[in-house]
Amino acid sequence: MSNVQSIFGNFNEVELTNDDHELVESCKDFIKESKEFTDYLIIEDDRNRNNVRWYSSKDLFVSGMTMLIIHQEVIEETIEDYKIKYGHTSAIKNIESMFRRVVEHNIETIKPYEYLIDFHECQKRIIGLET
Q: Would you list the DSSP string of 16-84?
A: --HHHHHHHHHHHHHHHHHHHHHHHHHHHHHHHHTT---TTHHHHHHHHHHHHHHHHHHHHHHHHHHHH
C-alpha distances in Å from residue 103, one per residue of 4, 58, 73, 81: 20, 23, 11, 19
Distance CA 75, CA 23 (A): 7
Domain map (residue ranges) of the chain: 16-49+56-130
* Per-residue pLDDT at 131: 59
Does 19 or 112 have the greater pLDDT score?
A: 112
Q: What is the pLDDT of residues 25-69, one digit of tens each?
A: 999 999 999 999 999 999 999 988 888 876 678 899 999 999 999
